[in-house]
Structure 1
Amino acid sequence: MHAKLPTPALPRRAVMVGACGVCAAALSACSSYGSGGSAAPAAPAPAPTGAPGAASSGGGAALTSTTDVPVGGGTIFADRQVVVTQPTAGEFKAFSSTCTHEGCTVSQVSDGTINCPCHGSRFSVTDGSVVRGPAQSPLPAKNIQVEGNSIVLA
């Protein structure tokens, strides 16, 4: 007859707490990608050199000249968290430069869209609406005014 040796058992609570810790660590690693963590691409450079008011931090200062925003495209001002577009000649629009999907800063305006580098969302230069996801909400509009050939963040 063989004697059965007792085996130590882990309490159920210890197993559950350990499993939750593993899940939390995995989710934390995933969520840092689009929220400014080191895995996300770097933000674009600030306003073009010579742009009026580019160093100012308050509203009402000129962002740029109307000649610095290409027709059918736009210019991103990461330091002011705004992208200014010119969908058609003489028509200027402004939107938040923060992607509504995971909070990355958009990095490029091309082919009629404002593009996010993190997950590929694209937004219309005309109204900020989602052209391609994963974002589901449009870029919020910002108030600007054209004063002569200056574009001013209102």
Structure 2
Amino acid sequence: MERRDFLSNMGITLAIVCTGGLAACGGKGDDPTPDPPGNPPGNPPGNNPRLTVNLTNQVTTVGSFLISGGVVLIRLAASNVPASFSAVTSTCTHMGCTLSGVNNGIIECGSACGHGSKFNADGSVNTGPATNALTKYTIEISGNTLTVK
């Protein structure tokens, strides 16, 4: 085989391998807005609730909270109106750990990451090392059903 034929065949082989590799790795890539938990892939966010809560028996007292479905839901006031609640992502913006709880209205990133970041109920940073606020979600209430979108 001559050098020219060898290099030509290698170039074609390399092109096929690269094309096949790109097709195999195709997909969403580094999507900055991944589908939320429980949202089927390709379903636009907002079509499915992130969390649904029955206010007759969940988060019933001021200061109570629930961490579920990728959401931290905190009751801030006694009435059943959206302003009486805060809903933010349950993923710490510093290291990506799931937030561990709420203590006196402060959302804590606990022992899973061990860095001690804390966030205010509105998602803003209270104590670092986290520097970015938590994503805040929309709350809707119909009767005794609270929905986080």
Do they fold alike, i.e. is TM over 0.5?
yes
Structure 1 runs (4+) greater than 3 angstroms displaced: none
**One-letter code of the match for 1:110?**
N
**Quick one: distance in 2 between partners of 1:102 and 1:122?**
12
Q: Classify 1:71/1:120 alpha carbon distance in 2 versus 1 (closer, same or farther; 3 Å).
A: same
Contact persistence 2:50–2:71 (CA under 8 A): no
Match of 1:72 in 2: 63
Gaps of 5+ in 1: 1-55
**Quick one: distance in 1 between partners of 2:93 and 2:78?**
27
TM (normalized to structure 1)?
0.56
Contact persistence 1:145–1:151 (CA under 8 A): yes
Q: How does 1:11-90 map to 2 (within 5 A)?
A: 57-58=38-39, 59-60=48-49, 63-66=52-55, 67-69=57-59, 70-77=61-68, 80-90=69-79
What SS does structure 1 have at the residue aligned with 2:119?
strand
Deviations 1:9-55 (A, max 9, x none): xxxxxxxxxxxxxxxxxxxxxxxxxxxxxxxxxxxxxxxxxxxxxxx
CA RMSD of aligned residues (A): 2.0
TM (normalized to structure 2)?
0.57
Aligned length: 96
Q: How does 1:75-154 map to 2 (within 5 A)?
A: 75-77=66-68, 80-90=69-79, 91-117=84-110, 118=113, 119-125=115-121, 127-154=122-149
Gaps of 5+ in 2: 1-36, 40-47
**Quick one: distance in 2 between partners of 1:60 and 1:153?**
6
Cα deviation, residue 100, structure 1 = 0.6
Contact persistence 2:50–2:70 (CA under 8 A): no
Cα deviation, residue 62, structure 1 = 5.5
